[in-house]
Structures are given as C-alpha cells and as structure tokens.
Chain A
C-alpha cells in the first residue's frame, strides 16, 4: 500500500523565471512600461530626449573652432555643411576664453590668480577633508586670507601683513585682559586694540616698513579684475567672511539679551527682505556717502562688503534653524557641566548645530556664488558683463548660445560639485543610528 501516493514526494527542479521578468526585458517592463500611463510618459520622454540630443549633439560637435568673426564662422559653416543652422561657432570661446576667465587682468600676471586658486584648494583641503589631510596644513588656511589679497592686488607686502598684525594684536590683548580682569573686558579690549591698529597706526606702519624694506610685487588695479575670476573672488570672500558673521548673528538672534536680539533681528530681516541688486546699488552709489568725506575706496571692496552682509543674513537664518533643532537637553547638559556661554557654544552647541545645518549652509554658498553675476548690472566686467560686451562687439554681434553655454558650464561645474560635496559631508558626519 505504501508505494501508492497521491502527492508528489520529491521537489520539482527549479525553473528559470520567464524571460519577460528578468534581465533587460524585465527591467524595461518594470521601469519603463509598467502600465499605460507609464508607457505614455516613457514615449514622451524618449521623444523629448531624442529631440534635444538631435539638436544639441550635432550643434556641439559639428562646429567651427577657428575664425575671427561670426561672419567668417558662417562662411566656414556654409562651405563645410552647406548651412549655418545647427552648428556652433566655438571660435568665439577660442578667441576670448582668456578674457572670459580673467577679465582685463594683465596677461603676464595670470600666474597670480591661478596660484591663488591652487592655494585656495590647498587651504581648503584640511577643512574639507579633515580626516585625510594632516591638521598642520591648517597653518596655510590661517595665512591664506592675507596671502590671497597680496597675490591678487599685488603692491607692498606690508599691507596684508599689517592687517594680520591687527588680529595678532587683538588676540594678545584678549589673552592679557582675560587673565587679568575678565573675559568681557578682554573681548572689548581686543576689538578696540585691533580697530585702533587698523584705522590709525596701520598706515604709519606700512609707510615706515615700506621705506625700510620695500618688498612687493607689481600692483593690479581693481578695474582690471573681471571674468570668472571675479565671480570666484567675490564668492570666496563673501562665503568665507559671512560664515563667522552669520554664526554671531544667529547667536545674537537666539540670545536672551533683548537689545542685542532686536538689533540682530532687524538686520537679518532687513537684508533678507530686499533684493541683492538694491544692496549692490548701495555699494556702487551710496556706500561712499556713508563714509567720512574724502574716503573713496574701490568698487570691488564695496561690493564685497555688501555681498558679505547679504550672505551673512541668510547664513544666520540657516544656522538659527540648526540651533533651534538641537534638543533643549544639550543646552541644559552644557550648563550642568559648568561651562560658560562661549565654552558651551564652542564645545557642545556649535559642532552639532553646524552639522545639522550643513545642507542649508552649502545651498547658501551656492546661492551667493551664483548671485555674483549680478555685479554685471552695476557695471563690473564679470563673466556675464564681458559676454554682453562681446555680443556688442561688431565681430561677434548676434552670437549668444555659445557664450551662455560656456558661462553656464563654468557655473554648473562649481555649483554642482559644491552640492555633491555637501552630500558627502552629510553622509560622513551622520553619527545617528540608522
């Protein structure tokens, strides 16, 4: 009886899945044609991609690289392809790329902006990749803010040197007074000492040192600055200076000191409520009115100041978001350890708050970097201003796609890498348990 069974006693061999469910076909079915709606979407997107690529690829690659004017470009196109339509004239970039990058910076001194950029990367390395680069490199980061203006503007070395001495002096006074009297007096004393040095003593110091030991390199006027270099210069300065100011403003806005709080709130809301272009008008037209009669400092410096204030207000809001997101217990924990305000901020609050606000900080960076093109409206020759000048030139009158594609690509590369870096940093600093 036992050899009769109504159910199968052994397993069937495993069968291969149907061809329509695996491999390329399966992937296409699941991802592109999973229903009538998806299929329509896929077909539409395929058509759109084809339409764009069929226009852009021949335009980009069947192009003219060597010509002296748009007319010449068109003649070459007619001779080669029989039509002027659908072919790029990259000759304009080939002709003017140095100008688009450096503006009217003297061409024999191009090494200086390039060296500044390289040093910038070196100075940023220990900050950006703190786990892979030795901490000693931070010395370069400290020197860079004084070295960069020296390289870019040239002139005597004693100018930047004296600016640095102001900071050293302030630090010295702070330490002295902090030990002797109190922290508050130390801070005030440091600020007063530094300001006195910069405003009054510094010019004598530079004059004397320059006559004793004239070390310097060829000076470059601000009006010769331009091109993409100007965007990077303005962006780096605004970003670098606005972060500390933003932190101070955010702390001020969160503080219990009513007067300080309302001053910070007023500043932040005012700056955030007006467009950058009005602040640039202030830089170009009004800032000289606000200063003592007779002072006339250069337009790039004025623009830098306004852009820094602008980005500091946005930065302050981003950091305030980070501060607000910290659990109350962190503040109480710091208090219970007996840390004073600045110690608590430095050791407990800020490291966490800044970490939370990294995405916001980086998008503010990207925003301010993109906003540097606005200086073309107040007449500086940044990359867009130069592009407009080139378009007004008789040789290249009527060209636009090639120029804008080039400028767009420059900005895209910088901004896109910044946003990718922020994602990397978020992943790296992720200490939660997920």
Chain B
C-alpha cells in the first residue's frame, strides 16, 4: 500500500528566479524598478547639469515678482503691478470660467442634437448628422481660430453704433451690444448693496465675495429646500389618501416670492452698456477671445456628446419602449420616465471624459489670446522670466489637479446613480 505524502520541499536555487513562476514575477519587478530608477536618475542628473550650464537653478522666487503685464478678461481685480502668482491665479479662474461655461452649453446642445438625431423626422435627423460629422472631423483648434476670425472680421466696430442712423444696433431691446471688440451684456447692480467680504487680505490669492450674491444663493437654496418639502408632503398625502393635492402654484410661489422680495429690498437693477466715446461702457464685457473659445469648444464638444447621448438611448432595448407603451405611457413620458433614467447610466462615464477633454482643450486659448492659465503661467510669465522648467511643470500639475478633481466628482456622481447589481 502506498501513502500519499507531500512532495519533498525544494530548496531555493538561484535558477528558480528565472524558471519558477513563483519567483519569476519578483525578478521581473525588481528589474523593472531598477530600470525605472536608472532612467529617472539619468534624466534628473542630465537636467541638473544642463540647468547648471545655463546658470538657472530651480527656484520659485520669481512668483513674488511683479508680473508687469495686463490681463484684460478677468473675474477679480488685477493690475500689472501684481505678482506672477496673482496672474497665474487669475489665469486659473479664467480657465475654470471657460470650462464651466463650455460644459454647460455643450451639454445642452449635445443632448438636444443627440435626441434630434434619433428623430423620426428624416430631414432633422440628416441635418443633425451633418452637424455632428462636420464638427467631429475637423480639429478644434481650427474651429477656435475660425470663430475668432469671424468675430473680429465680420462684426461691426463700436463706432458703427454711433450717429442718428447707425449701421449697427444693439440687440435684445437695446441691452446687448455685439461688436468686434467683444460682447457687452447688462450686469446686475444693487443700489442698496450689502457690501463685500475681503478674503485673504492683500495676498496673491485675495478675492472679494459679494454679500448680495451670497444672500441670493441662500434664499435660492432655502426656496428649493421648501419646494422639496412641499412635494414630499404631497407625495405622502397621495400615498395615504390616493389623490394628489395640486401644488404647482404653491411651488411657484415659494420659488419666486422670496427672491422678488429680496431683490427689491437690495434695489436690484440692470446696468446697460452704453456707447461713450469710442467704446461701450457699463455692463459686462466679454471679449472676443472668450466668446470664440467658448463657442468653438461648446459646439465641438457638443458633437461628441450628441453621439454619446444617441448611443446611450440606442443601448436601451426596444422592449423597454414597447413595455412602456403597453402600460399606456405617451412617447414623451416614455422618454422621461423609462428611457432617459436608464440611458443616463450608460451616458455618464463617457460624458465625464468629454468634460475632461473640454477642460484640457480650453488650454488652446493661447491661440486666440484668452488669458487662461496656459496664457499666463505657461505663456507670458514663462517668456518673461525664462523659467521654462518650473512653469511647465507647475502648469502640468495644475491641469492634473483640475482633471483629477473633475473625474473624482463625476465618478462620485456616477457611483451614486449607478445600477446596483446583486
């Protein structure tokens, strides 16, 4: 009779590092790590040698020096005596402005086009296909430069608005002026303003928060909270008694009444742009570079979003639509209650990467002279100080942090709406 015993324990031999799969992975990893470290050390030592030869040791002191260049489109106050750090901060805010504006308009246009592309209307579907293919297959930089050229070359100059019979007139009840120097839109003014809070004193990151804006936001949040309470109450009543109380006029009242009261109390009115001398004064001035970048990025990204939306809707099986109509839902409600909630789960992940792309593409602002972070930190600051290494590395770091934050937030949202399976 034989007995099964454990095989004799093998002693470790050096050759097992190569031939035994248990140890081979360790060998490969060690070799890879050594190779990587050698490469890194080689690059770093080269860089140090090269910088020494150029007489430019790595240091970030230049950020405190006066930037001495102007940024014409900005959210916060800035003048050319401010530091390079302040300029980079203003640039960062400009990047975020165009990214947020672009994401919003791209989503609106993209969803609309994506749904219309699936329309049963032959002509509409074709027109939308042409739009999508045209924008997807031509570089975004071309669209940006073209938009800029169109704005500058074809729009009327401010002086065309002058005189008794002007060549150009302001649009939208004389409130918006579209000129070749940019678009002037009315802004909100408060005659009984609450004032501002100044944050961070006089440092480079200083900014003011308008208390009026804070008040408006608080009231808005309160109204929305109250509206949700009311609709929860209505839902509870429907659960218990079977009929739903009519609440839409209460909802409207809650939404608008406090806001109107607040705005009247603050003395809110619109400040219209007016032509004085050679240029418009008053209102908010959006420069052509911002408009061109915003327009081109939105239209370009919208074409991609349209394709994602279309694919998302098509991914929902036809059985869902048929089941919905068997239940007696009308097409509009089928879309809203059955198709879109399911399609959303397919749509969100690629949507995240498109928002990221839009944000990264906003760095092309440098081609039209919009002063975003690439234009300030990676453009004029770099050229003036000659600190390529520091500026480019910081620029990459900034974009990396923006990308990681966006993808973090969007992934959190994605996990929240994701279908939980088993």
* Chain B: CB-nearest residue to A44: B124
Partner among B119, B127, B396 whose Cβ is within 8 Å of the Cβ of A48 = B127
The answer to whether B149 and A404 touch across the interface, beta carbons within 8 angstroms, is yes
**Which residues of A have CB within 8 Å of B403?**
272-274
Report how far A296 CA is from B288 CA in the complex, Å: 39
- Do residues A32 and B149 form an inter-chain contact, with CB atoms below 8 A? no
Contact B138 A408 (CB under 8 A): yes
Chain A residue with minimal CB distance to B52? A293
- Among A274, A370, A412, chain B packs the most CB atoms within 10 A around the CB of A274
- Judge whether B363 is part of the interface by a CB distance below 8 angstroms: yes
Report Cα–Cα, A421/B216, bound state, in Å: 54
Task: Please name the residue on chain B nearest to A188 by beta carbon.
Answer: B31
Do A293 and B396 contact each other (CB < 8 Å), given the known contacts A32-B123, A184-B27, A274-B403? no
* A416→B396 contact, CB < 8 A: no
Specify which of B25, B33, B139 lies most central, judged by the most chain A CB atoms within 10 Å of its CB: B139
Q: Give the residue name and chain of the B residue nearest to A405 (CB).
A: B146
Contact A184 B28, CB 8 Å, known A277-B363, A278-B399: yes
In the complex, whether B51 has a CB less than 8 A from a CB of chain A is yes
Task: Tell me, yes or no, whether A110 is within 8 Å of chain B by CB.
Answer: no
Contact of A416 among B133, B363, B366 (CB under 8 A): B133
Contact with A along B145-158 (1 / 0, CB 8 A): 11001100100000
Report if B19 contacts A (CB, 8 A).
yes
Chain B residues whose CB sits within 8 angstroms of the CB of A407 once the complex forms: 142
Give the distance in Å from the alpha carbon of A293 to the alpha carbon of B48 in the complex: 10
User: Are B141 and A281 in contact, CB atoms less than 8 angstroms apart?
Assistant: no
Flag if B150 contacts A400 (CB, 8 Å).
Answer: yes
A388 to B144, CA, bound (A): 13
Binds A, one of B6-14, B77-85, B334-342, B387-395: B387-395
Judge if A330 is at the interface, Cβ distance under 8 Å.
no
Residues of A within 8 A of B141 (CB): 373-374, 376-377, 384
Residue pair B46, A46 in contact (C-beta under 8 Å): no
> Considering only CB atoms, which chain B residue lies closest to A281 in the complex?
B392
Which chain B residues lie closer than 8 Å to A128 at the CB level?
none
Instruction: Establish whether residues B399 and A377, one from each chain, have CB atoms under 8 Å apart when the complex forms.
Output: no
Number of residues on chain B facing chain A (CB within 8 A): 57
B124 and A45 within 8 A (CB): yes
The answer to whether A31 touches B120 (Cβ under 8 A) is: yes
B400 at the interface (CB under 8 A from A): yes
Bound-complex Cα distance A293 to B136 (A): 43
B13 to chain A, nearest CB (A): 14
B396, A274: Cβ atoms under 8 Å?
yes
Least Cβ–Cβ distance between A291 and chain B, in angstroms: 6
**Chain B positions within 8 Å of A412 at CB level:** 134, 137-138
A291 to B404, CA, bound (A): 30
Interface of chain B residues 100 through 132 with chain A (CB within 8 A)? 116, 119-124, 127
Cβ-defined contact, A256 with B25, below 8 A: yes
Are B32 and A257 in contact, with the CB atoms below 8 A? yes
The answer for the CA separation of A407 and B27 in the assembled complex, in Å, is: 52
Q: A182-B18, A408-B142 are in contact. Are A278 and B378 (CB under 8 A)?
A: yes
The chain A residue sitting closest to B400, CB to CB, is A273
Q: Determine the residue in chain A with the shortest Cβ distance to B123.
A: A45
**1/0 contact string of A257-293 vs chain B (CB within 8 Å):** 1111001000000101111111001100110111111
A263 to B37, CA, bound (A): 11
The answer to whether A411 touches B366 (Cβ under 8 A) is: no
Contact flags A396-434 to B (C-beta < 8 A → 1, else 0): 001010001001100110011001000000000000000
Contacts A184-B18, A290-B43, A292-B49 supplied; 9 other A-B pairs, CB < 8 Å: A31-B123, A45-B127, A273-B400, A274-B400, A289-B47, A289-B51, A290-B47, A370-B138, A412-B137
The 10 closest A-B pairs by CB, nearest first: A415-B137, A400-B149, A275-B360, A273-B403, A370-B139, A31-B122, A275-B363, A273-B400, A285-B388, A259-B29
Chosen A-B contacts, 27 in total, with CB atoms closer than 8 Å, are A32-B121, A32-B122, A42-B123, A45-B121, A46-B123, A184-B27, A257-B25, A257-B29, A257-B32, A259-B32, A263-B32, A273-B404, A274-B360, A274-B399, A277-B374, A278-B374, A281-B395, A282-B392, A286-B389, A289-B47, A289-B51, A293-B53, A391-B149, A398-B153, A407-B142, A411-B142, A412-B138
